[in-house]
């Protein structure tokens, strides 16, 4: 049996969900009672998170997702991952879908269960700065 680290689990999530945009992979990778905390807002349950992810992803055309760096605690139950998203504006953050280039960076802190399911993610990103660029600094 191959032992997977918390980083392995998180990187699989990044690859399948955000890089391949396979929203159905969420059903396999995250716990049913998954909690996302994004910018202080809570999204509770795997189903609600899946809808959130689809909606967030729809805000970008030609989305690419890069893992910048990841590290974990001693037992892999907590993973911190820095990431970079690029693409073109397709209505991100309620803006006009004008095709402007978008670059966003963020930090995600994950909780990983013993069985390899993702239990929670607290993410912070430079959304305000991206929004200001898309709206001309308004």
* Amino acid 2: pLDDT: 54
pLDDT tens digits along 20-75 = 999 999 999 999 999 999 988 999 999 999 999 999 999 999 999 999 999 999 99
Q: Domain span at residue 29?
A: 6-136
From the centroid of its chain, how far is CA 133?
21
pLDDT top residue among 133 and 138:
133
Residue 106 lies in a domain: yes
Residue 42 lies in a domain: yes
**Whole-number mean pLDDT of the chain?**
95
Residue 75's CATH number: 3.10.450.50
Q: Phi first, then psi: give them for residue 123, nearest 5 degrees.
A: -125, 140
pLDDT tens digits along 64-119 = 999 999 999 999 999 999 999 999 999 999 999 999 999 999 999 999 999 999 99
Residue at token pair 């912070």:
124
Residue at token pair 């699989």:
12
The Cα–Cα gap between 29 and 32 comes to 10
* Amino acid 39: pLDDT: 87
Q: Which of 43, 105, 117, 33 is nearest to 76 (CA)?
A: 117
pTM of the model: 0.93
| Vertex 106: Cα angle to 81 and 118 (nearest 5) | 45
Q: How many domains does the chain have?
A: 1
Q: Is 73 exposed, middle or buried (CB count within 10 Å of its CB: 0-12, 13-18, 19+)?
A: exposed
Cβ atoms 105, 83 nearer than 8 A? yes
* Amino acid 106: pLDDT: 97
Residue 1 lies in a domain: no
Residue 59 lies in a domain: yes
Q: Map residue 17 onto helix, strand or coil.
A: helix
- For the stretch 102-138, what's the b/e string if a residue is b when 16 or more beta carbons lie within 10 angstroms of its beta carbon? bebbbebebbbeeeebbebbbbebeeeebbebbeeee
* Amino acid 138: pLDDT: 61
- 137 band by pLDDT with thresholds 50, 70 and 90: confident
Residue 113 lies in a domain: yes
């Amino acid at each position: 049996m191959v032992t997977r680290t918390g980083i392995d689990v998180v990187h699989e999530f990044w690859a399948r969900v955000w890089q391949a945009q396979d929203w159905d992979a969420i059903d396999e990778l995250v716990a049913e009672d998954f909690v996302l905390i994004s910018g202080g807002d809570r999204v509770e349950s795997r189903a609600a998170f899946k809808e959130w992810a689809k909606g967030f992803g729809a805000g970008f055309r030609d989305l690419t997702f890069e893992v910048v760096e990841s590290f974990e605690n001693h037992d892999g139950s907590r993973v911190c991952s820095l990431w970079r998203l690029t693409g073109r504006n397709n209505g991100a953050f309620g803006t006009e879908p004008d095709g402007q280039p978008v670059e966003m960076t963020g930090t995600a802190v994950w909780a990983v269960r013993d069985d390899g399911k993702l239990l929670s993610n607290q993410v912070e990103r430079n959304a305000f700065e991206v929004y200001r660029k898309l709206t001309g600094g308004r």
